[in-house]
């Protein structure tokens, strides 16, 4: 905690931990306007996508520790998609923890504008950041001491084997992120499909929160990732992300909101059980 007079202000990492405890589960839910994700009865246009995203949010209210906007899906829809992004963001309750999945990276002056766009204009609490251009490309994000920047360490896609895995580049990224974490606002993206290597990343970054995608449709190892990502201090949040895994089954007639809630509760149970195995039952 940061002391300001007699008051204590939570660090960016502590804010995520508080959100996980408030939700009762470290689950992040994805918000992506994608035609393939739409349940029956939802049109593949801006109106249909907005109705779909509102259905996901309304059905999972109080269930999720965070919502993660994948900006690519919104930007692909053009100006109306960007307007949709901001409209849905503004409709979320004030205490909603919002992650902007943007994977931004550029030289310092451009990175500063990217950070401003995500943390000021959009009002995200956290963002994903590509660190491969080095510290000067990441520092503009870290200057926002009350926002959490998740650096890509080892992603969940097969292409992680091209650059991030060979030579253990992921470990160098984790070590650098630990050194850059002077404001307690730096985290790492560690895919659940890379659970066998997550323990090595955790050793290199013992106090950083992890954002763990890939536990759902990508077939990642939830239990293995939860075990490997466990921080030695025991109070560092590890957030598990699901998007497609909470959506209604294609071609099955159902109440979309009820189906989304049921699947979300099922994922909460699985995640909480995996976490409990390594924390003694504490949700962090």
Would you please indicate which residues are annotated as catalytic (active-site) residues? 103
Phi and psi (nearest 5°) for 152? -70, 115
Type and span of the H or E element at 199: helix 195-204
Measured at the CA of 161, the angle between CA 156 and CA 166, to 5 degrees, comes to: 125
Nearest C-alpha neighbor of 14 from the set 284, 248, 215? 284
Q: Per the structure block, which two tokens stand in for 7?
A: 């008051």
Nearest C-alpha neighbor of 197 from the set 216, 182, 210, 184? 210
| Contacting residues for 64 by C-beta, under 8 A, at least 6 apart | 23, 25, 27, 28, 29, 264
Q: Which residue's entry shows tokens 């080892």?
A: 154
DSSP type of residue 38: P
Q: Which residues pair with 70 in a beta bridge?
A: 101
Phi and psi (nearest 5°) for 229? -85, -10
For the chain, the C-alpha Rg in angstroms (whole number) is 18
Nearest C-alpha neighbor of 96 from the set 147, 50, 143, 57? 57
DSSP E strands in 15-116: the ranges are: 27-31, 66-70, 98-104
């Amino acid at each position: 905690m940061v002391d300001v007079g007699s008051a204590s202000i939570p660090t960016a990492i502590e804010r995520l931990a508080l959100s996980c405890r408030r939700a009762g589960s470290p689950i992040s839910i994805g918000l992506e306007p994608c035609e393939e994700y739409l349940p029956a009865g939802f049109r593949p246009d801006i109106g249909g996508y907005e109705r779909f995203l509102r259905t996901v949010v309304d059905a999972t209210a109080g269930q999720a520790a965070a919502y993660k906007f994948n900006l690519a899906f919104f930007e692909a829809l053009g100006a109306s998609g960007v307007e949709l992004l901001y409209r849905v963001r503004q409709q979320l309750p004030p205490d909603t923890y919002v992650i902007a999945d943007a994977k931004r990276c550029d030289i310092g002056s451009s990175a500063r504008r990217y950070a401003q766009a995500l943390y000021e204009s959009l009002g995200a609490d956290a963002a994903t950041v590509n660190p491969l251009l080095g510290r000067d490309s990441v520092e503009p994000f870290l200057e926002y001491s009350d926002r959490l920047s998740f650096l890509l360490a080892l992603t969940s896609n097969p292409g992680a084997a091209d650059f991030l895995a060979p030579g253990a580049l992921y470990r160098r990224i984790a070590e650098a992120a630990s050194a850059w974490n002077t404001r307690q606002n730096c985290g790492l993206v560690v895919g659940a499909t890379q659970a066998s290597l997550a323990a090595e990343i955790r050793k290199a970054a013992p106090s950083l929160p992890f954002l763990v995608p890939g536990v759902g449709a990508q077939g990642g190892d939830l239990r293995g990732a939860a075990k490997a990502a466990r921080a030695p201090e025991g109070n560092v949040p590890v957030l598990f992300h699901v998007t497609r895994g909470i959506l209604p089954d294609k071609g099955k007639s159902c109440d979309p909101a009820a189906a989304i809630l049921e699947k979300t509760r099922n994922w909460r149970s699985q995640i909480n059980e995996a976490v409990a195995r390594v924390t003694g039952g504490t949700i962090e």
